[in-house]
Structure 1
Amino acid sequence: MKKINLLAVTHHDRENINPIRPEASQIIGLHLSGKVNVIVLCNPGSGLIPYFEKHGIEVLIDPLNKKFSVSTIKTIRRLLRERSIDVLHLFNNIACSNGATAAIGLKVKVVAYRGQTGNISRLDPSCYLTMLHPRLDRIICVAKAVEDDLKQHVWGNKSKVVTVYKGHDQAWYQKEKADLSDMNLPVSSFKLSLVANLRPRKGLHIFMQALAMLPKEMDIDVLLVGADPHSEQVKKMIKLSEREQQVHALGYRTDAPEVAAASDVTILPTTKREGLCRAVLEANSYGIPSIVSDTGGNAELVKNGVTGIVVPPGEPAALAEAILQLYNDREKCKAFGVAARNRVIDKFNVKQGVDATLAVYKDMLDAQHTE
């Protein structure tokens, strides 16, 4: 069988590799499958470059810094023709708007990535450069909830929207848990972590309101990774908890997974527009269970009553009750953690992500050959 010629276009300027390891592992896995010739186009200085080159993947460079760049479009279009590309896989909005436009009039199959629910409308012209771009042949969603949401908006063939879970490798989660000794936290305290870029929809205010509802004598500490300790808004939020001495804003940390590993439970009280939360997958990979709100792909990540607890979004009382349940039953908490780790290994591994992506490519190309 002829190998598939793939051009993957991605843009990242993060120094921290944690958020983009699943994407890199998928591209590398496609290359190592023996079924795909992979070329990557990414921005100069991308933290992914050494990972790709280490595995013998050809990496080409483009600024990829504008949603619509004539220069970038010309570069992608030239590569599609010169390299006889079969599949163009676009991993973010910048890649999508330029790449899908570059593919107009060519036979190449075009795949885009969708990572969260919401924020899309048929009435928004900018959406026609990304998820509603008429040149897209498939849109791979990170969760079934994202797929279901997007299908309400795309025109024409709804079956072009599919789900492939991102793959996580347990080798990434072998470090020691974060050393928090400088914080002088009581060894006995029940530790709750929230790891998130704290946009309003991440539900910090819901979490803080839930803490205020818990019995005052509870021995807990709360670790907020991503919360700027100097932010007046964050300070205001923490005040809602009525536990200011027990809530610790740790700011940005590159060892966020290891901080979660140092907790007993990780919390994700998102109010809307969630995808498949990486922070939950990371915590679960360390055997830490989660309490999450039922929005986006959260309920696909956490099996309620087996690997964690799923609560209604925007309801602090329900969140407080879930925290209290695990606080009072440490054996159940530990059992949830073991089950959560096993679920990540079984359902969210790298191989399933690579195999499912290959199946999407094959389905598109087989359909092309029968046309």
Structure 2
Amino acid sequence: MKIAHIISNKVWGGGEQYVYDLCSTLISDGHDVEIFTRPIPAIVGKVATLGVPIHDYSLKNILKLRDGIVHVHNFKDALKLAVAKKLTHSNIKIVVTRHLVRPAKTSRLYTWVYANVEKIIFVSDLARKEFLSSQPKVDEAKLCVVRNSIKTNDNANSFAVDDIKASLPNDTTILMYHGRIAKEKGLNVLIDAVARLKDIPYHLFLVGAGDAEYTNELKLQIANRNISAHVSFLGFKDDVRPYISQTDIGIIPTIAQEACGLSCMEYMMLGKCLITTNNGGQAEYVENGVTGLLITPGDAAGLTAAIRSAITTKETIGKKAKEYFDNYLSYGKFYAEILRIYKNAIK
């Protein structure tokens, strides 16, 4: 199959990793893949490693598309592609993945867009439910749920560039957050929670980059709580899995509703105990007390209690989490569903 993916964001995040992993698998499977993206060095440099044609995401270039699947990852891009399709009378088949938890737009313009795409993929039941909450005029036969997944890296446990435990006592519990450093991720709550662990030897690693002002606020909060010796910022890491492999407990305390965060799945895939909030799509695959621990967003005391519980149950929960990931969330299952959608779209 001929498949084009559109990357229109200006920064690399979970959605971009979704595209990268999917394109990598499609290429390995023998499909004809090309990528349209903005001329942003960090993004172009990353997707260039796939070895496929990369085009500037401009109206001039998308007007050249004549056939095949075009997979977009927001409805603004779907609108552009639908207009291009109408102008050129092309035979492209537009597939949209909805990565957000938001009601659908219900204007006449977006109703027209919904009518001119072949399939709308939601990454969680929550995302689909919220989309429909505004009662858009859309053919619900076009809607489907395919949860995100993570490609397994068989070398994840063997090439850690930093031994994050090296300077710490052997009885230290390693806690880790990875993702964007942003207010909606609830990191101030995490700092408050770990500051209460006065009787437990722990070290928290924050892996990621983001808002500089918020990062400085967190550092001030850490200093004010007298826990600077227990918290480290590692910055952005291209591959976080070598760090996850050294972690005891992963913590994703997001406050905002996330449709289906990849960070949670990475801990599960590597058999690590996960603590996360119960307000997003993660509650659909994390069973509290079995495959992870769920807390209320913004509840620092609840998070502290969850960490204490996880210290004694982390091995059992981590094992169950990996079993669940392998059986129900594996990349093979995800890819098979996406491929089925593509094939149905071009029939």
Fold match (TM-score > 0.5):
yes
Partners of 1:313 and 1:252 in 2: CA distance: 24
Task: Specify whether residues 141 and 296 from structure 1 end up closer, same or farther in structure 2 by C-alpha distance, changes over 3 A only.
Answer: same
Partners of 1:158 and 1:261 in 2: CA distance: 41
Task: Specify whether residues 205 and 121 from structure 1 end up closer, same or farther in structure 2 by C-alpha distance, changes over 3 A only.
Answer: farther
The equivalent residue for 1:73 is 59
Residues 110-149 of structure 1: CA deviation (Å, up to 9, x unaligned)? 111222323x563799x949x9665333221222222222
- Alignment pair present for 1:284 and 2:281: no
Q: What is the Cα-based RMSD across aligned positions, in Å?
A: 3.3
Q: Percent identity?
A: 21
TM-score normalised to structure 1 length:
0.77
Residues 233-278 of structure 1: CA deviation (Å, up to 9, x unaligned)? 1213324655332122222233422222222100011111313222
- Alignment pair present for 1:10 and 2:7: yes
**What SS class does the counterpart of residue 319 from structure 1 fall into?**
helix
Partners of 1:274 and 1:139 in 2: CA distance: 18
Task: Specify whether residues 28 and 208 from structure 1 end up closer, same or farther in structure 2 by C-alpha distance, changes over 3 A only.
Answer: closer
Task: Specify whether residues 38 and 9 from structure 1 end up closer, same or farther in structure 2 by C-alpha distance, changes over 3 A only.
Answer: farther
8 Å CA contact retained: 1:204, 1:237: no
The equivalent residue for 2:84 is 102
Of residues 119, 122, 125, the one that matches 1:138 is 119
Partners of 1:243 and 1:351 in 2: CA distance: 42
1:328-367 paired onto structure 2 within 5 Å: 329=312, 332-366=313-347
The equivalent residue for 1:196 is 179
How far has the Cα of 1:181 moved from its partner? 5.2
Unaligned runs of at least 5 residues, structure 2: none
**What SS class does the counterpart of residue 150 from structure 1 fall into?**
helix
The equivalent residue for 1:40 is 34
8 Å CA contact retained: 1:146, 1:275: yes
Q: Could you list the runs of 4 or more consecutive aligned residues of structure 1 that deviate by over 6 angstroms after TM superposition? A: 16-19
How far has the Cα of 1:157 moved from its partner? 2.0
Instruction: Write the letter of the residue equivalent to 2:218.
Output: V
Task: Specify whether residues 237 and 97 from structure 1 end up closer, same or farther in structure 2 by C-alpha distance, changes over 3 A only.
Answer: farther
The equivalent residue for 2:54 is 61
8 Å CA contact retained: 1:26, 1:353: no
8 Å CA contact retained: 2:96, 2:119: yes
TM-score normalised to structure 2 length:
0.82
Instruction: Write the letter of the residue equivalent to 1:253.
Output: K
The equivalent residue for 1:225 is 207
The equivalent residue for 1:369 is none
Partners of 2:328 and 2:64 in 1: CA distance: 38
How far has the Cα of 1:155 moved from its partner? 2.9
**What SS class does the counterpart of residue 62 from structure 1 fall into?**
strand
Partners of 1:260 and 1:303 in 2: CA distance: 21
Task: Specify whether residues 19 and 146 from structure 1 end up closer, same or farther in structure 2 by C-alpha distance, changes over 3 A only.
Answer: closer
Of residues 124, 133, 142, the one that matches 1:152 is 133
Of residues 143, 150, 153, the one that matches 1:161 is 143
The equivalent residue for 1:68 is none
- Alignment pair present for 1:187 and 2:173: no
Task: Specify whether residues 236 and 187 from structure 1 end up closer, same or farther in structure 2 by C-alpha distance, changes over 3 A only.
Answer: same
Residues 303-331 of structure 1: CA deviation (Å, up to 9, x unaligned)? 2222211112222222111111122x1xx
1:264-279 paired onto structure 2 within 5 Å: 264-279=248-263
Partners of 2:160 and 2:28 in 1: CA distance: 31
How far has the Cα of 1:86 moved from its partner? 4.0
**What SS class does the counterpart of residue 306 from structure 1 fall into?**
coil
Instruction: Write the letter of the residue equivalent to 1:78.
Output: K
Residues 344-363 of structure 1: CA deviation (Å, up to 9, x unaligned)? 22222222122111222344
Partners of 1:88 and 1:176 in 2: CA distance: 36
8 Å CA contact retained: 1:205, 1:240: no
Partners of 2:92 and 2:32 in 1: CA distance: 15
Partners of 1:249 and 1:289 in 2: CA distance: 21
**What SS class does the counterpart of residue 171 from structure 1 fall into?**
coil
What is the total number of aligned residue pairs between the two structures?
336
Unaligned runs of at least 5 residues, structure 1: 54-58, 65-71, 367-371
Instruction: Write the letter of the residue equivalent to 1:290.
Output: L
Instruction: Write the letter of the residue equivalent to 2:222.
Output: I
Partners of 2:325 and 2:77 in 1: CA distance: 29
The equivalent residue for 1:49 is 48
8 Å CA contact retained: 1:210, 1:320: yes
8 Å CA contact retained: 2:188, 2:218: no
8 Å CA contact retained: 2:157, 2:245: no
8 Å CA contact retained: 1:142, 1:275: yes
The equivalent residue for 1:56 is none
8 Å CA contact retained: 1:5, 1:87: yes
8 Å CA contact retained: 2:15, 2:99: no
